[in-house]
Structure 1
Amino acid sequence: MKLFPLVTITLLFFAIFACSTHHKEANTDMKAALDTAHYTTVKWLDSTVQFGGIPKGEHITVRFRCKNTGNEPLILVNVRSECGCTVTSYTEHPIMPGSEGLIEAAFNSEHVPVGNVRKTVIANTNTKNGTEHYLFFEGQVIADSVANH
């Protein structure tokens, strides 16, 4: 019976330690991004992506490439979209000087009206040339009957 409390305490210790380690890693990334002495510069190779026309209900993925043009590691701190029809993923490790990073935005046209579409993706970075960068993708959602003819 003495073994049960020991096992419980040990498991609790490991659970707390695991949570605190993840929290420390997130804090380290955030602190690095806020350290203005180590800001870098970024060049967006694809700041606006034209996807043409897609039938209503289709899904597409657009890609935005960026290049670290500075002397410090580039950190994509946070990437988000302005609407629920777009889901983003991005390079989460520091991008070394001269290297490229990637942001992907998956767009679902299911609940978007037919017609012209312009969506915005916002990237927060540790950069001297602005810490908030607006990226766009645009095209046209076409009615199913028009797309099939």
Structure 2
Amino acid sequence: MRVRLKKLKPNFSFRIGSRLGVIFLFLSVSACNFSGSVKQEHKPSGNTVMTFDKTVHDFGTVSDDEDLGCRFTFVNSGSDILVISDVVAGCGCTAVEYSKKPLEPGQKGFLEVVFDPRGQAGFQRKNVRVFANIPDGSILIAIKANVN
């Protein structure tokens, strides 16, 4: 005896309904703040001072076949917590890494700058702007090189 199976049509209302449910869930989650804590904002203060060991590094005359790196160090020489909010390199040939945690007074931090001289020629000056809760809002750091 042969049994003939009936071909079922897809339930489009279920598919559409589940898609709408997923979209609704995504929008609901996006609208919520899951951090569970209020982010403490550190506004510029006359009592927050960022003192660098140097603000310019000169690599001298270099070839264009390898990356160059240097490390700037700084100290929070003020009496308030120092928070770096962003560090922006002025060129795509420059990469930065920096201390991301808030620094208590007296604590030290760093800023590492890596310069890729490939495709560059002659005198080069690359700027990096450090944004923090200091009175001026930011400080400019620079690297220099003469690329052969």
Q: Is the 1:57–1:111 contact (alpha carbons within 8 Å) kept by the matching residues of 2?
A: no
The equivalent residue for 2:53 is 45
**Percent identical:** 24
User: What pairs with 1:102-141 in structure 2 (closer than 5 Å)?
Assistant: 102-112=110-120, 114-128=121-135, 130-141=136-147
Task: Check if 1:95 corresponds to 2:103.
Answer: yes
- What is the CA RMSD across the aligned residues, in angstroms? 2.8
User: Superposition pairs for residues 1-149 of structure 1, below 5 Å?
Assistant: 16=29, 20-21=33-34, 28=39, 31-32=41-42, 35-36=43-44, 40-112=48-120, 114-128=121-135, 130-142=136-148
Give the residue type in structure 2 aligned to 1:109: P
Give unmatched runs, 5+ long, in structure 2: 1-17
Compared with structure 1, are the counterparts of its residues 91 and 21 closer, same or farther at alpha carbon in structure 2 (3 Å cutoff)? farther
- Following TM superposition, the consecutive aligned residue runs of length 4 or more in structure 1 with deviations greater than 6 angstroms are none
Read off the aligned partner of 1:127 and give its amino acid letter: I
Going from structure 1 to structure 2, the CA distance change for 1:80 and 1:131 (only over 3 Å counts) comes to same
Q: How many residues align?
A: 125
Q: Distance in 2 between matches of 1:110 and 1:55?
A: 9
Between the aligned partners of 1:77 and 1:53, the Cα distance in structure 2 is 33
Higher alpha-carbon Rg: 2
User: What letter is aligned with 1:86?
Assistant: T
Shift of 1:126: 0.4
Partner secondary structure for residue 103 of structure 2: coil
**Deviation larger for 82-91 or 39-48:** 39-48
Counterpart Cα distance in 2 of 1:74 and 1:66: 11
What secondary structure is seen at the aligned counterpart in 2 of 1:28? coil
Counterpart in the other structure of 1:147: none
Map Cα deviations across residues 67-95 of structure 1 (whole Å, 9 max, x no partner): 11111111111001111100111100011
Normalized per residue, the structure richer in helix is: 1
Cα offset, 1:132, TM superposition:
1.3
Q: What is the alpha-carbon distance in structure 2 between the residues aligned to residue 117 and residue 37 of structure 1? A: 34
3-state DSSP of counterpart to 1:109: coil
